[in-house]
Structure 1
Amino acid sequence: MEEKSQNKFQESIDLLNDAIAKEIATSMQYMYFHVRFEDAGYEYLSRMMRQISIAEMHHIEEFSERIMYLQGDVDMNPAFKTRQIHDVQEGLKFCMELEANTIESYNMASRTASEHKDAVTHKLFQDTIVEEEQHHDLFRTELQNFIDYGPKEYLLMQSIAGSKANSKKAGHPEMYKEED
């Protein structure tokens, strides 16, 4: 009876699958916030959540491609169930927590991949950490704005942006000129 040999990159494959699980769950969480905040009329916050959700999906793709190259199998299951958080401040705090945990996890995964002499997976985690730190910084900035301006004023600014966008959708783009 022939014994199946262990893939010498199994440790990297396991690390990457763990990362995929986190990215899927996080992407779904951010998409939930996108839909929730869009419905509330918080245009910019909603758009930011959507963009970051899509960035997390790109990470899933990159990790999956690496697993396939290493001749492993991709496990496409989320690490956690989406939380139905309605409060903006609580949502931003949770997003910061997710990103901080991801950064810590990917730092450990990067070191482990390096120890197992898998330089490409090591670099992939390092590159992804840079993006995750950018996400963390965006959430931290929005949370600080929420605190500095106060909930009422912060959400009012989000709502005004949503009203402008909805007016354009309703066929009145001349009412609001886009100022970049």
Structure 2
Amino acid sequence: MATENKYQKSIDRLNQAIGKEIATTLQYLYFHVHFEDDGYEYFSKMMKQTSITEMFHTDKIADRILFLQGEVEMMPSFEPRKIRDVKEALEFSMTLEQRTVDSYNEWARLCAAEDDQITHKLFQDLAKEEEEHLDMFRTEMENMLNYGEQYLALQSIAHSKEITKK
């Protein structure tokens, strides 16, 4: 008879986190390739770097699951949305990050209550990094609202100049 893993609740939460991280990795990669194609070089690079960071989060979480002797479930929690509008992409990204921060804070609290301090700290650390993403997206949204279409036009012009240098 197999014994129940005393960390199964943490493992389940960690696997939910993996689903979020994989899904956001794919979403931000989708934004990267389309913004790059549209000539929005800065947005493209920002989304690519954020996607890579989300992938590293997946790796950290998977390591913790394996240490707890759990099974890593590599299933995205949602399919990437086909959003091509920069403002809409930023709005969606802010929503994703806020939901993730909220989840990680809650899961950190629950893990602490269950005497799993290491997973508690992992969720706290990840929440902090997700808040940094949220802050970055908020700043970009403020720039879009303050400078309007000019903000995107300047990125497109800078991209065009870069291409002509090649």
Q: 1:94 aligns with which of 83, 92, 95?
A: 92
Aligned partner of 2:107 in structure 1 is: 109
Aligned partner of 1:54 in structure 2 is: 52
2:94 partner letter: M
Listed as ranges, the matches of 1:99-178 within 5 Å are: 99-150=97-148, 152-168=149-165, 170=166
CA distance in 1, matches of 2:11, 2:164: 48
Aligned partner of 2:39 in structure 1 is: 41
Q: Is the 8 A contact 1:43 1:165 kept in 2?
A: no
Segments of structure 1 that go 5 or more residues without pairing to the other structure are: 171-180
Structure 1 residue ranges (4+ consecutive) displaced by more than 6 angstroms after TM superposition = none
How far does residue 42 in structure 1 lie from its aligned partner after superposition? 0.2
Q: Is the 8 A contact 1:25 1:79 kept in 2?
A: yes
Identity across the alignment (%): 54
Aligned partner of 1:173 in structure 2 is: none
How far does residue 167 in structure 1 lie from its aligned partner after superposition? 3.1
Aligned partner of 1:6 in structure 2 is: 4
How many residue pairs end up in the alignment?
Answer: 166
Segments of structure 2 that go 5 or more residues without pairing to the other structure are: none
Select the structure of larger CA radius of gyration. 1
SS at 1:81 equivalent: coil
